[in-house]
Structure 1
Amino acid sequence: MAKKHFNAAGRAFFSKEDALLKTPDLIAHQKESWKDFVDNGLSEIFEEINPIDDYTGQKLALRFKSYEFQAPKTTKDFAKENNLTFEAPLHVQVELTNKVTGEVKEQEIYLGDYPWMTNQGTFIINGTERVIVSQLIRSEGVYFNTETGSDGKKYYGAKLIPVRGAWLEFETDPKTGVIYVKIDRRRKLPVTTFLRALGRMTNAEMREIFADVDNGDVKFIQSTLEKDQSAGPNEALIEVYRRLRPGDLATIENARNMIERMFFDFKRFDYGRVGRYKINKRLKLETPNTTENRSFQMEDLFEIIKEVIRLNNSQGEVDDIDSLDNRRVKLVGELVARQFRVGMLRMQRNAMDRMSMTDIETVTPGQLVNARPVVAAVREFFAGSQLAQVMDETNPLSELSHKRRLSSMGPGGVTRDRAGLEVRDSHPTHYGRICLVETPEGGNVGLVTNLATFARINEYGFIEAPYLRVVNGKVTDEVVYLDADHEMREIIADAGSKLNEDGSFVESQVSARKNLIPSQVSSSEVTFMDAVHRQVLGAAASLIPFAERDRIDRA
């Protein structure tokens, strides 16, 4: 039995002390996300919107420059007592350029009051304390999937999911070996037609690009070219336009403009930072994660098609969509930024309308900027979103648990009716990241979960778990946080493994997880060890004495 020790209150503890890893700030993810939104998120949105030109693009240009949130007008307690919203005013420096005369006017504009986070990680809306529940959702990026044909062979496809813009879905026809693409879930067309429309490519160029992978029994590119009815780039443009805008008059100029706007305009198509990161990681690319590379890239398209062909030839493994490697957490800052962007786009249209109706000689920035659509969009989120919930104030523990909650529902997520067993079930990657015990009963089971006590969320929104590094068979004091993808490649010993004084394992065979599956391995193979005994449980479940002896259905 572990050594018994007492604290000042006289309570006896029979578990080993986890001296290396103290319990972290359990609401740090909420506060840090809000700080990131205030410091960086807003400036990114203003950069995306800049400049706002008039409809002709030749008279006026409006730019948002620096901004500052001033101190909240009331205290948190005063807002609660008087049924007010605890909010802070936003002031923005706006520059208006008259393109005809070259005159530049600059003005500080009050852009409305916005709900402000308290030190406890909550918001007070009309006197009611609310918590923004973090959303656990499928990450942007590229995913490869499979369907089994009547011959028992697997045929592969892919989905390219951006933050903003058209989804691309690729599939392989089991009978002919033709690779098709669907743009925004419209009617499918041969992928070679799409390549021809985007890159003005010839048949010979396409064969050359894919020659290194398209060398199996089935020649996928040749089969697709035979199905492709477009003779050149212009016919391909018309074909794509007809799929996307059936019934509209299809001209080469219309089609080219539409495709340019749909895929190569950053305001309409954006992978997002996470999307670019995931695409690079999955396709083994080294494209810099910059704003210019977040719009559609032809190289990405080539690599996706190559991977589909390679998987068809090798019958390899596809991506597990329920793994935490492919699901990420959207925190409060990102959720509010999304609503702020919606409001700014409404304000942009409003400003463009005003530009066309005012005297360009006398107009000032203040006359063009109307803050109401932005304030309304943000308040609408706090008052009515599925993720903005009245805080559970039953006791301090329920309050803490609510702030660490994750929901798979909400905008872009699943619904209770459509969610199957796979989404709700616990997954091997949940170990040390999501509490294996705490989930409600009923319709929300498995869709509403809680972060594990020691889990943290990285800059891309992926959940990481802490482990101790093992070097030459000895456990060191170095704590390393691993995401699910990294963990799959490691052999991780159980926290209960017995150690000698020098950190080496007592037994030659230890209980460990290899490729996420529990097994017995040689102690010399181990690369990491669980950092803390209770890292598999959330803040609330870890307080249950002898939790493993309690009736725990999910664990």
Structure 2
Amino acid sequence: VEIFREHGIDKIKVANKYIYKTYLKLKERLKMPLEENISELRAYMEIYKELRPGEVFRYNAAKSFWNNLYFNPERFELTEVGRYKMNKKLTNTYRKYLVEIEGRNPKSVENVEYTETSNALTPMDIILVVRMLLEVEKHPETLDTKDHLSNKRVKTVGELIGSEFERAFSKSVHQIQEKLATYTSLDKISIPSLINLRNVVASLNSFFATNPLSQFMDQVNPIAELTHKRRLTAVGPGGLKRERARFEVRDVHHSHYGRMCPIETPEGGNIGLITSLAVYATIDKFGFLVTPYRKVVNGRITDEIVYLAADEEENYRIASSTIPRDENGNILQEKVPVRYLEKVVYVHKNEVDFVDISPKQIVSVTTSLIPFLEHDDANRALMGSNMQRQAVPLIKSEAPLVGTGMEYPAAIYSGHVVLAKHDGIVKKVDARKIVIHRTDENGNPLHDKKGNPILDEYTLLKYVRSNQDTCINQKPIVNVGDFVKKGTPIADGPATDNGELALGKNVLVAFLPWEGYNFEDAILVSEELLEEETFTSVHIEVYETTARETRVGPEEITAEIPNVSKENLRNLDENGIIRIGAYVGKQKYFTSQDILVGKVTPKGESDATPEEKIMRSVFGEKGKDVKDSSLRVPHGVEGRVIGVHVFHKEEVGDLGPGVNTLVRVYLATRKPLEVGDKLAGRHGNKGVVSMILPKEDMPFLPDGTPVQVVLSPLGVPSRMNIGQVLETSLGWLAKLTNRHFATPVFDGAKEDEILPELYKVREKLNLHHGDDPENPSGKVILRDGRTGKEFDSPVLVGYMYIMKLIHIARDKIHARATGPYSLIHQQPLGGKAQFGGQRFGEMEVWALEAYGASYTLNEMLTVKSDDIKGRTEVYKAIMKGKNLPEPGLPESFKVLVRELKGLALDVRVYDEHGNEIDIEKL
């Protein structure tokens, strides 16, 4: 204020609306007469008046209030990261303070850092903050950007659980203090009576059971699991609300480069709020995301790796990893494009500070698995990333012919591949176990002091159910006598092939419209894929039942089930539980479903008939006073029983209220490819199988090979995912030359490298018909399998990597005759889970009205919905083969009338003759 007065300043221009009030107060202060020596008492009085208006000033209360507000570490704590950020932010202001107030030489303070260590505020902090605030008008660029990653940090799992502990312990402290106050003598106190850990246990249980950040792991395939573990979210407790998140928060920010993936994010309301960690990003000790760069010294790229945070990075000139260089790392270009201060500028090569570590640095693991990503539109790349997480592990995994080089690390780091812990020689291999004899660096077998060989045993997971009912099964990939190095894969997991991620299959595709069967993204597939079980997957479902205590006696798990034939009991053991290995669910006729667990429930007491009395007197027991409540295989499900778990209350403790026994049955089901299943490539090119055509009817190549999948050419131009076209051509080249190609993201193979090479190979194999040798396009003349005639134009053919997604038609198919109804409006429930009906909505009603289908419409609104009496009568009439009765009054009408009466309206109903009707009696 004094400096302002000296320079005759009596106006302040506001640089930021958020600090407008501060300036107004400062402005008022400027108009006040200047007091030379404001006393401590007066200062406290002014501050107290501002912060506690209307309260009576007392010196001691004001002093205590002010000290507790910011300077007491127990009441106010910046935390370690807060102090770090504050010191960093105030360093420049501190240097100016040293020069202007303490008269230091500007050169001597160039490297001086503000190094306050207290986690509470200090008077110097406040002085520097006020000075900084006053400088904002001159330098508005010093204001922070909310969405910059230097102002956001990752709250890790440990920190979240730590805060739960903190909350629980603070509760416990209050309870202990209250208990201590009740004791008259310290001798009577015992630690167990004083400390109760119930708060801690309850707090942790609540966190893991109910906190939205504690999630059920996505285990569809290894990459789904890996991605779930690397997920970042801005929503959840203490975070943003999905509905209120602005566009700026969801947008990609330049500081995300190398830290958060700009591609992988959900498509719905969470877009931009839930993201993925970039490939090389890591979290520093303060929770900030950092990314690695190679240091450049005098135009030469060194092997020194430096991790930079988002705010540090902006002070350096950073070039792309793909800039031309010689074998010694010297940059060849004189002028190099670099990122500097949020812009891209050209500088001399000697001015470059760092280069990126890799072109895939900016994307996540899943996105880095998409070949030719640089040729795909971002929206489709997003779909491609998300759909890889939905790929079902197939019976026989197959690594992609065209990969990116990330398939191996993705599989290894997912934890599903078994790795050798030490060097050694394989001694024994079977489906469940691998035994390796350890060796030293020279390959000599190691023995212990007694002369026994030192062996490593690896137990493999066999047919374990994942959270999403897919099958986790590990298979050995080594043979007896093989020498293995430490860290090499010795067994494949689900969706891996020789230690590489293998989510789908390489299939021969053609881009061709075929009789409308690939209209609107539908996919035509060959029967060959069914014969070879290319897209067959194994799913493991769990069914469970409980035997409970009821009012009339306990339920019993038994093989003695009333009114069930021996044929239907053939697979049950003496306890009434299905035997492992039984194949269930395959019904020849419409008979009762297979029983998995036999269970009987006691009926309520009733007056015994004379026959029952005779039975009881002869056999000394009740007759058939139990009903069958067995667990049966649901309709449409068939498979083999691969596991049974039985839990008894006496052995495992509490199973839930009133539960004596719990039985779980695990059923493995093979699901071959069917019409309605969803297939997808890695470029967001998804579709539904519309028809499975005999392979002899499929279009075929000049050498007679039938294609396996026919895709619509219209799926390419508007979607702008050209990567699938390049993948198809390179895949064909890989197949013809029996090689695998890795084309890394943003640094992949070029079209003019692939097509000429492909043409040369095709020419040797006489597959070049329909292509131009001067300007090859990768197309070939195909013939129709039904007629043998050539198609009008050459067709793009090649091998594409296609995945089968978890959206399987067989799991979604559903039918209902009668079933459960809603309690209030008596309409059928909705959805497969509730065994509900199909909703007949407004627009569907309009459709029937447009056709004048009045009887159908009447049925829809009455007997097929909420006409309680009518639907019962209609069902009886159908069963007895009689004519259908007239529909009655729907329940929804009665509900409407009651609703209107609830609004104090007198509503009456009359028939066509003017007589009042009591709708409650209808």
Q: What TM-score does the superposition give when structure 1 sets the normalisation length?
A: 0.58
Match of 1:191 in 2: none
SS for the counterpart of 2:304 is strand
Contact (CA 8 Å) 1:428, 1:517: kept in 2 or not?
no
Letter in 2 for 1:268: R
Cα pair 1:324 1:430 within 8 Å, conserved: yes
Alignment counterpart, residue 417 of structure 1, candidates 240, 243, 248: 243
1:519 to 345, 351, 357: 345
Q: CA deviation at 1:347?
A: 0.4
| AA at the equivalent of 1:468 | R
Is 1:155 the counterpart of 2:15? The answer is yes
Q: Is the CA contact (8 Å cut-off) linking 1:157 and 1:308 kept in structure 2?
A: no
Give CA deviations for 1:120-147 in whole Å, capped at 9, x if unaligned. Answer: xxxxxxxxxxxxxxxxxxxxxxxxxxxx
- Following superposition, the deviation at residue 264 of structure 1 comes to 2.2
Contact 1:156/1:308 (8 A) holds in 2: no
- Tell which deviates more after alignment, 532-541 or 232-241: 232-241
Report whether the alignment pairs 1:530 with 2:356. Answer: yes
**Structure 1 residue 431 and structure 2 residue 260: aligned?**
no
**1:266 and 2:91 correspond:** no
Q: Distance in 2 between matches of 1:270 and 1:294?
A: 6
Residue in 1 that maps onto 2:640: none
1:390 maps to which residue?
A: 216
Residue pairs, 1:82-101, within 5 angstroms: none
Cα deviation 1:169-193 (Å, max 9, x = unaligned): 78543xx5x33xxxxxxxxxxxxxx
Q: Distance in 1 between matches of 2:287 and 2:123?
A: 27
2:179 to 354, 370, 373: 354
Conservation of the 8 A alpha-carbon contact between 1:346 and 1:374:
no
Paired AA for residue 178 in structure 2: D
Closer/same/farther in 2, CA of residues 262 and 512 from structure 1, 3 Å limit: same
What secondary structure does 2:303 align onto?
strand
Question: 1:307 matched to which residue of 2?
Answer: 132
Moved more, 249-258 or 466-475: 249-258
Residue 493 of structure 1 corresponds to which residue in structure 2? 319
Q: 1:305 to 1:361 in 2, by over 3 A?
A: same
- Confirm or deny: 8 A CA contact 1:392 1:398 kept in the other structure: yes
Q: Distance in 1 between matches of 2:220 and 2:34?
A: 64
Amino acid at match of 1:297: T
Superposed CA deviations along residues 522-547 of structure 1, whole A, max 9, x for unmatched, are 22221110111111111111101111
1:482 and 2:308 equivalent?
yes
SS in 1 for 2:165: helix
C-alpha displacement of 1:249: 5.4
CA distance in structure 1 between the partners assigned to 2:56 and 2:177 by the alignment: 28
Equivalent of residue 280 in structure 1, options 87, 92, 95: 87
Question: Is residue 294 of structure 2 the alignment partner of residue 455 of structure 1?
Answer: no
Residue 142 of structure 2 aligns to a residue in which SS?
coil
Question: One-letter code of the match for 1:263?
Answer: Y
SS at match of 1:401: helix
CA distance in 2, matches of 1:399, 1:434: 18
Indicate if the aligned counterparts of 2:171 and 2:199 stay in contact, CA closer than 8 A.
yes
Of 156, 162, 170 in structure 2, the residue corresponding to residue 345 of structure 1 is 170
CA radius of gyration, larger in? 2
Q: State which drifts further: 232-241 or 528-537.
A: 232-241
RMSD: 2.8
- The answer (yes or no) to whether the contact 2:290–2:309 under 8 Å persists in 1 is yes
Change (3 A) 1:240 1:172: closer
State the match for 1:317 in structure 2. 142
Letter in 1 for 2:65: M
Paired with 1:270 and 1:464, the residues of 2 have a C-alpha distance of 25
Q: CA deviation at 1:242?
A: 5.8
Residue of structure 2 equivalent to 1:471: 297
Equivalent residue runs for 1:157-172 within 5 Å: 171-172=21-22
Name whichever of 340-349 and 414-423 sits farther off.
414-423
Q: CA deviation at 1:513?
A: 1.2
Contact 2:14 2:20 in 1 (8 A): no
Pairing 1:219-258 to 2, within 5 Å after superposition? 223=30, 233-234=40-41, 237=44, 240-241=47-48, 250-258=57-65
2:371 matches 1:545:
yes
Which residue pairs with 1:378 in the alignment?
204
8 Å contact kept, 1:511–1:518:
yes
TM-superposed CA distance for 1:504, in Å, is 1.2
Shift of 1:227: 11
Change (3 A) 1:389 1:279: same
For the 8 Å contact 2:90–2:114, the answer to whether it is kept is no
Compared with structure 1, are the counterparts of its residues 337 and 259 closer, same or farther at alpha carbon in structure 2 (3 Å cutoff)? same
- In structure 2, distance between residues paired with 1:500 and 1:221: 65
One-letter amino acid of the structure 2 residue matched with residue 301 of structure 1: I
Match for 1:256: what amino acid? K
Letter in 2 for 1:500: D
Map of 1:84 onto structure 2: none
The alpha-carbon deviation at position 237 of structure 1 amounts to 3.9
Bigger shift: residues 410-419 or 456-465: 410-419
- 1:505-516 correspondence runs (5 A): 505-516=331-342
- Does the aligned pair in 2 maintain the 1:156–1:172 contact within 8 Å? no
Contact 2:298 2:349 (8 Å CA) reproduced: no
Higher RCO (CA-CA < 8 Å; seq separation 6+): 1
In 2, the alpha carbon distance for the partners of 1:449 and 1:367 equals 47
Q: Distance in 1 between matches of 2:235 and 2:195?
A: 34
Give the distance between the partners of 2:160 and 2:54, measured in 1 at CA: 37
> In structure 2, what residue type is equivalent to 1:281?
K
> What is the deviation of 1:224?
7.5
Q: Look up the match of 1:4.
A: none
* Counterpart among 294, 297, 301 of residue 119 in structure 2: 294
